[in-house]
Structure 1
Amino acid sequence: MTTGDETTGEPPQRGRDEETGGADADGISPVVSRRREEGVEVLTLSGELDITTVQDVVPVLDDVLDSGADRLVVDLSQVSFADSSALNLLLRTRTRTSLHVAGPLQPFVGRLFEVTGITGVLNVRDTLDDAVRAAAQRT
């Protein structure tokens, strides 16, 4: 059994899977896509959001906010896991722009939001269309 490059003794390199938009081959890092819809910036995340992977989202989010986006929808419908660092990121984002979160939330994420009571604070909507419509109306 080998554990790295036989010639250099280096550990194996974990590459990026281009097909998943930047997620590690194991599929754990979040995939982030960005688009504009009805005058609202939309970030779609998928995969897992934890203390390690949330750092992959920060540069994209900073680009959106630095571009002057005053309305933002974060689509979490494809996020299978989130922890307190993801909640922290969303709460910090809420202080910088009008934030809406799109679902439907996966069971673990929905439970986290329910237990923490954060659903109302983050303007969680059942669908992406509902979230974009609400953000466009600035509600």
Structure 2
Amino acid sequence: MPAESNVPGGSANGQGQWESERQLWSAAPAEDRDGVVLLTLTGELDLAAAEDLDRLLGESLDSGREGLVVDMTGVSFCDSSCLNALLGAARRARAAGAGFALVAVSPAVVRPITALNLGQLLPMTGSVPEAVELVRTR
């Protein structure tokens, strides 16, 4: 299903691909899943990616949907600057009355969130359908 025009990332034809200068991470064009924006990230999320990630998360939240699910199953590294961008997006979502959830199964993502006791601020599930349901029933 092609993404609607106000979903960040453009259409399903691959336009809107986000990559840092070093191209260690990317974000697929955002999708609409039952009124929730699904943003799929892959690669290494480090300081070089943080600013673009923060902007992309903000655009996704501004799309007027019920909330945001960030699929991080393809993320192999996530540093504190990108965790901070995710925390900022979660706060913005709550302030706007929208839901926010991560799909995270990789130890590179789960471990720092768990170690820093951020699970309540950054709720995690093991699958996209679970995360969409969590966001829709917030």
Which interval holds the TM-score relative to the shorter structure? 0.7 to 0.9
| Structure 1 residues without counterparts, runs of 5 or longer | 1-17
Is structure 2 residue 92 aligned with structure 1 residue 96?
Answer: yes
Is 2:35–2:66's contact at 8 Å kept on the other side of the alignment? no
What is the identity, as a one-letter code, of the residue corresponding to 2:134?
A: A
Partner residue, 1:6: none
Matched, 1:29 2:25: yes
2:111 counterpart of 1:115: no
Matching residue's letter, 1:112: P
What does residue 48 of structure 2 align with?
Answer: 52
2:126 equivalent in structure 1: 126
SS in 1 for 2:29: strand
Shift of 1:124: 0.8
Cα 1:23/1:65, change in 2 over 3 Å: closer
Corresponding residue number in structure 2 for 1:65: 61
Paired with 1:24 and 1:91, the residues of 2 have a C-alpha distance of: 20
Distance (whole Å) between structure 2 residues aligned to residue 108 and residue 76 of structure 1: 10
Which piece of structure 1 moves more, 27-36 or 124-133?
Answer: 27-36
CA distance 1:63–1:24, change in 2 (3 Å): closer
After superposition, the Cα gap between the structure-2 partners of 1:86 and 1:25, relative to the gap in structure 1 and judged at 3 Å, is closer
1:109 deviation in Å? 1.7
Aligned 8 A contact 2:100 2:122 in 1: yes
Q: How many residues align?
A: 118
TM-score normalized by structure 2?
A: 0.74
Identity of aligned residues (%): 31
Q: Which residue of the partner structure matches residue 4 of structure 1?
A: none
SS of 1:30's equivalent? strand
Q: Which runs of 5+ in 2 are unaligned?
A: 1-13, 94-98
